[in-house]
A and B are shown apart, each in its own frame.
Chain A
Amino acid sequence: MKFSLRNLLIVPFLLQIIGITGVVGYLSYRSGQRAVQAMVSQLMAETSQRVEESLSDYIKTPQLITIVNAHLVQQGQFSSTDLAALEGHFIQQLKLLPELEGLAMANQAGAFLNVARLDNGDLILRRRNITVNDGALYRYRIDREGQNLAVLDPPRFDYDPQRDPPGDPWYSAAQQSPAGLWRLVVSLSQGVDRPQLIMVRFMPIHSEAGQLEGVISTGVSLAELGNFMQSTMSGRRGQLFLMEPNGDLVATSAEDLPFDLQAKGDHAQNVAVQPRRLSVSQSTNSLTRAVAQTLLDQHQALSRIQSPAFSELRLDGHRYFVKATPLGGELNWILVTVIPNSEFMVNIYANVARTALLCALALMGAIGLGLWTAEYITQPILSLQQATQAFNSGMAVVPPTQPSRIREVEALRQGFDHMVGQLVGSFQNLKDRENTLATFLNGVPVAISVHDQTGQMLFLNAKGKELLTNGIALASAEQLAETYRLYRAGSHDLYPTAELPVVRGLRGETAYTDDIEVDTGERRMPLEVHTIPVFNGQGQVVYSINTFQDITERQQAEQLRANYQRELEHQVAEQTASLYASEITKQALINAIPDLLMRLGRDGLPREIYNLEAVHWIGDKTSLYKATMYDNLPEPLAQERQRCVEQALATDTIQRQEYEFIDQGQVFCEEARIIPVTPDEVLVVVRDISDRHKVDQLKDEFISIVSHELRTPLTAIRGALGILESGVLHNRPQKAQQMLHMALNNTERLIRLVNDILDLERLTSGRIDLGLEPCQIKDLIALAVNGVEAIAVEAGVALHTVPFSATVMAAPDAIVQTLTNLLGNAIKFSEPGSEIWLMTEVVACPVSEDKSALPESLRQPLPPQTFLQVAVRDQGRGIPPDRLELIFERFQQVDVSDSRQRSGTGLGLAICKQIVEQHGGAIWAESQLGQGSTFYFTLPLKTL
């Protein structure tokens, strides 16, 4: 339950004040009540006491007058027999004592004198003068001075004071009471028709002898007693009345008469007392009746009231206090004092009213003060509250707080203002930063939304509002898909809530999806959504931050790209195939290239190496890619190589390096080409040119030999002809003839040499077609033998041939030349007298006594084929084994001098070898030094 500060301050304050005021008022009232009670008691006591005293005084006067008059009569001042003397005395006493009703005296004689008072102040005189007249009773009006006697009524003759009233005559009653007697009597002093009930004090008068002389009395009117009682009330409201213990009314301060005034015809009845008595219950005064009833209710019988008794009653809306006091004594009356509450309560009420007024004033004052205080206290606090509310509701300007004179509140206010100032500053700062952030977020080309734990969107940046046209709508997580019309891509199904990235983010996941589409009303827009959860200090997810963007273009681009990619893949596949083929080709090419290929960086480290085996690698083959190329070369070559690489990279030109080096005693010759590939990479191609070098050397050597072989005969020719031409031999014809012969011989030698060289060149170049044809071998042998027969004879050498018939596929001239060369050589190196055999046989494959002597090519198994084998055996000096193969090379005679001595060119066997090999045959030699040599060659037989 919440209370406002103002109420909290005011209500208890008011309750307090009202409570205190109420208690004070109540206590005041109570004390007032008690005071009233006390006052009532006091007043009652005072009143009854005064009434008692007055009554006592009032009653004492008739008693005293009675005693005085009786005494005067007894003293003889007045005669008891002649009552006339008492008339003046009685009149005088009445004039002096207004409270007296009347004075009377009756004597033994029956005379009777009575002076009584009328209401108007005049007096009544009644007398029965026995001596003067006939004993009748006369009644006269006299004035106040006792003069002007006037008879009022006719004399009554039936009156005897000693017998009146009949039945209970007061005279005899008084006679019985020497001290005096009170007695109620009916007085007719005011007329028979106006009987009065009065209270009379009777006293008998006795003579000195003790003889009764008469009875004297003094009366007081009960009505007067009532008036007296009324006067004792001295203006107070209220009532007094006297009553007999039996309830008969004696006197009352009220207006009504306490007895029956009605006259009756019969005298006895007229003067009978008892019938004229009125009970208090029969009083015409309602208050008297009510009091009587109350007393009766309280005490059952009035005679039981033995002590002063108090009671209260309510009548006609008034409260009355009642006190009944038994007076005791001779009369034994009960005095009843009735005083209305209002008599006392006026002041009390005034007091109460004053108290109430003061209380009300105090209350109002207190309330006013309370309100003012509450206002005074609450106003600054309320201003703080208003400021807080304004602050809370995000108002830009916080209303100023009210200063307070209350130190604590002022401190609170100042503290609040300071705090608000700081907060406003902070908020402004925060707002600035928010604005900056918002500007930033709105500037971001990606849509961003922030959701709280329920999924409700809190923030959406400008880009987001473009994509989600609903903007920030009221929607929980379950309503997001419907509210923002989010569909699963490619379907009409709303995106399932549980899978929404926002919801996954709220579960603490970092989510990504691109299968969401938003219905913009015009089209379905594909979105890519990234979501991250934001945790608070307790690790609970407080926000989910979404970034999303339209990926239509990207999807189209992806589609396009996919198409391109398919196309590309297709092309790549094709090209890969072709590349594979080309790679295979390249690999084959690389394998086919007899060069070391190396991709080399500027740093000298190899990137790729192919065909390492193509060169003689002197470096460590286990760490090819760790060492630079220069580490694998001898020092001067390494420097040269590095220079070439730098040159190639600098000038973008191919550099060449040709060099030789010696490793383990062997000379290697290499050629390196440095080809720039990229600004930092070169291709190094290294070729082992040792063979080529060797070939070149061989070529050089060949040229050198040829040059030498050609120049030697030319020198001789030139020299001989030069000398001849100079004429110095004019006188020496023999010498000149020798020179001429020399020139001619050398010319012949030169011709042979040139012919052989040309033959060999034609044969080795393969440019001539030998024109194979079926030939009968014996014909060819015959031709050859015929050709050399002459020189054999000249040399003294016997030439034997074994006839053999076989058909071979051959170029006849070439085979003849071969046979001629072999036979010529045999003849040249045969001593005279020796023999030469030419033998022919058919072999499955060429056989040899010494297989190792066979040429390399013949050691391989050959397809089953039959060959014709021709052998030329001599008995010459023989050939050293190390030259058995060399002799088939050019200019490789066993002895250089042979060429001069045996007129050979050094090319014959080389020509033979070329011819035989071009026929598909083989040629080789076997020899034993000093015993002779055998030259074999084979020719394939013509298959039929």
Chain B
Amino acid sequence: MSKRILVIDDELDIREVVCLSLEEFGGWQTDSAGSGLAGVQKAIAAPWDAILLDISMPDMDGFAVYSELQAKPKTQAIPVILLTAKVLPSDRERFATLGVAGVIAKPFNPVTVWKQVAQLLGWTIDPTAKDGIL
């Protein structure tokens, strides 16, 4: 059964690359939202196996989205992986306190990023996946 991943990022280009990568190499279903608010709405609207969340977003940034998700019973259990360009040590310290499933730094390898996600979430790699790499 294919995993359902929600990608929330204000950069269109990033959303496209992430979704394409996860779909092409992980074989997962993806959807994306271009703002925090939209992302929260989408997260509530349908069941998700994981959410990839950007931090630097106008209006409602990643931290606000995450708290919102944690605050709602429907989305509380969805594992969230931060996908961010904020990679300074001070940023990492702050992320560690959040309780997210993991952090993946931008720029990432589009070919292998699905493996990183699977590894962070403890998912078994599907040998039937297109790239065939474990």
Contacts and interface: CB of A to CB of B under 8 A. Distances in A.
A895 B90 CA distance: 25
Nearest to B20: A723
A742 B13 CA distance: 7
B88 A707 contact: yes
A712 B106 contact: yes
A722 B111 CA distance: 7
A896 B108 CA distance: 23
Nearest to A741: B13
B74 interface: no
Interface string B1-33: 000000000111110111011001100000000
Interface string B44-74: 0000000000001110000000000000000
The interface size bin for chain B is: 20 to 34
Nearest to A721: B110
Name the residue among B12, B107, B131 with the largest chain A CB count within 10 angstroms: B107
A322 to B, nearest CB: 182
B117 to A, nearest CB: 14
Contacts of B21: 719, 722-723
A719 B107 contact: yes
B106 A723 contact: no
Interface string A692-717: 00000000100110011011111111
A723 B14 contact: no
Given A722-B110, A726-B110, A746 B85 contact: no
The interface size bin for chain A is: 20 to 34
User: Main SS of the interface on chain A?
Assistant: helix
Given A742-B13, A742-B16, A708 B110 contact: no
Contacts of B108: 715, 718-719
Nearest to A742: B13
Interface string A791-821: 0000000000000000000000000000000
A728 interface: yes
Name the residue among B13, B17, B106 with the largest chain A CB count within 10 angstroms: B13
A735 B58 CA distance: 28
A715 B86 contact: no
Nearest to A696: B90
Interface in A722-762: 722-723, 726, 728, 735, 738-739, 742, 745-746
Given A715-B85, A716-B17, A708 B90 contact: no
A700 B91 CA distance: 10
A723 B85 contact: no
A716 B14 CA distance: 5
Contacts of A746: 13
Contact of B17 (A700, A715, A900): A715
Contact of A723 (B12, B24, B57, B107): B24
A891 to B, nearest CB: 11
A715 B130 contact: no
Contacts of A708: 56, 85-86
B119 interface: no
B110 A704 contact: no
A707 B86 contact: yes
A720 interface: yes
Contacts of A712: 11, 14, 85, 106
Interface string B75-89: 000000000011110
B85 A895 contact: no
Contact of A718 (B16, B107, B131): B107
A714 B107 contact: yes
A897 interface: yes
B13 A703 contact: no
Contact of B18 (A700, A711, A719): A719
Contacts of A897: 10, 58
Interface in B88-102: 88, 90-91
Contacts of A710: 85
B63 to A, nearest CB: 14
B17 A723 contact: yes
Contacts of A726: 24-25, 110-111, 131
B105 to A, nearest CB: 8
A719 B88 contact: no
Given A723-B24, A728-B24, A711 B109 contact: no
Nearest to B57: A896
Name the residue among A708, A719, A723, A897 with the largest chain B CB count within 10 angstroms: A719
B17 A720 contact: yes
Contact of A715 (B10, B14, B90, B111): B14
B17 A703 contact: no
Contacts of B17: 715-716, 719-720, 723, 739, 742
Given A742-B17, A746-B13, A900-B11, A722 B88 contact: no
A742 B20 CA distance: 13
Contacts of A900: 10-12
Nearest to B112: A722
Contacts of A715: 11, 13-14, 17, 85, 106-108
A710 B14 CA distance: 13
Interface string A115-145: 0000000000000000000000000000000
Contact of A711 (B12, B13, B25, B107): B107
B13 A728 contact: no
B87 A718 contact: no
A700 B110 contact: no
Nearest to B90: A700
A711 B108 CA distance: 10
Contacts of A742: 13, 16-17
A716 B13 contact: yes
Nearest to B87: A707
B29 to A, nearest CB: 17
A704 B13 contact: no
B125 to A, nearest CB: 17
A396 B128 CA distance: 140
Nearest to A738: B16
Contacts of B130: 728
A708 B87 CA distance: 8
A717 B109 CA distance: 11
A582 B58 CA distance: 57
26 contacts: A704-B88, A704-B91, A707-B85, A707-B87, A711-B85, A711-B106, A711-B107, A715-B11, A715-B13, A715-B17, A715-B106, A716-B13, A718-B109, A719-B13, A719-B18, A719-B107, A722-B21, A723-B20, A723-B21, A726-B24, A726-B111, A735-B20, A739-B17, A742-B17, A896-B57, A896-B58
What are the 5 closest A-B residue pairs judged by CB atoms, nearest first? A719-B17, A711-B85, A716-B13, A715-B107, A722-B110
Interface of A: 700, 703-704, 707-708, 710-720, 722-723, 726, 728, 735, 738-739, 742, 745-746, 895-897, 900
Given A704-B91, A726-B131, 12 more contacts: A704-B88, A707-B86, A713-B13, A715-B106, A719-B21, A719-B110, A722-B109, A722-B110, A722-B111, A723-B111, A726-B25, A896-B58
